[in-house]
Amino acid sequence: MSETAILGGGCFWCLEAIFKRVKGVKKVTSGYAGCRRPNPTYEQVCTGMTKCAEAIKIEYDPNIIGYEELLRIFFAVHDPTQLNRQGADVGTQYRSVIFPLDERQRQIAQKVIEELNPLYGGNIVTTIEEPGRFYVAESYHQNYYDTHPNQGYCQFVIAPKLQKFQKNFKEYLQ
């Protein structure tokens, strides 16, 4: 049995590296969601004109980890108070967004945002949007951190987020 979650929290390389290490997660795919343009390329997404968000599709076993727990990890490993950016990555394609796939996921997302918002000073800007179709990103974006661990972005941006996750969510490590 498996369920699917689609989340965008800045660069998909960061989220992919983290969620691949979460207990109960079967597969993580980097891609684009919330698009106005069909079959977008990375170059098109980077312009901000497609309205796509860099996102990940998570296939997980709900008997091991629930959607709410995935969202709590999501909020802890990126900054949900930065509008249309994560660190130096700027643009609507890097927005903090949850793409619920049904009404149950939408309600859980709203509940988690309401619960966490006071912890962030009432400044959570994460949106809840219709996913539309999820487009798989180009093959060179898949499993990026694990295949390029010495690349500068991986060392200086992804590795610290991964370390934070490993330190604060030991019970969810595979």
For residue 133, the model assigns a pLDDT of: 92
For residue 87, the model assigns a pLDDT of: 83
- Radius of gyration in angstroms for the set of CA atoms belonging to the chain, rounded to a whole number: 15
Helix 12-19 crosses helix 159-168 at what angle (to 10 degrees)?
A: 30
What is the Cα–Cα distance from 61 to 36, expressed in whole angstroms? 30
Global pTM value: 0.95
Inter-residue contact 174 to 22 (CB < 8 Å): yes
For residue 139, the model assigns a pLDDT of: 92
Instruction: Kindly list the catalytic residues.
Output: 11
Residue 129 tokens, joined: 């949007």
**Fold for domain 3-172?**
Peptide Methionine Sulfoxide Reductase; Chain A (3.30.1060)
For residue 131, the model assigns a pLDDT of: 79
Domain positions in the chain: 3-172
What is the Cα–Cα distance from 51 to 135, expressed in whole angstroms? 13
For residue 1, the model assigns a pLDDT of: 87
- Walk along the chain (174 residues) and give the pLDDT tens digit of each residue: 899 999 999 999 999 999 999 999 999 999 999 998 899 999 999 998 899 999 999 999 999 999 999 999 999 999 999 999 888 888 899 999 999 999 999 999 999 999 999 999 999 999 999 878 999 999 999 999 999 999 999 999 999 999 999 999 999 998
For residue 160, the model assigns a pLDDT of: 92
For residue 70, the model assigns a pLDDT of: 98
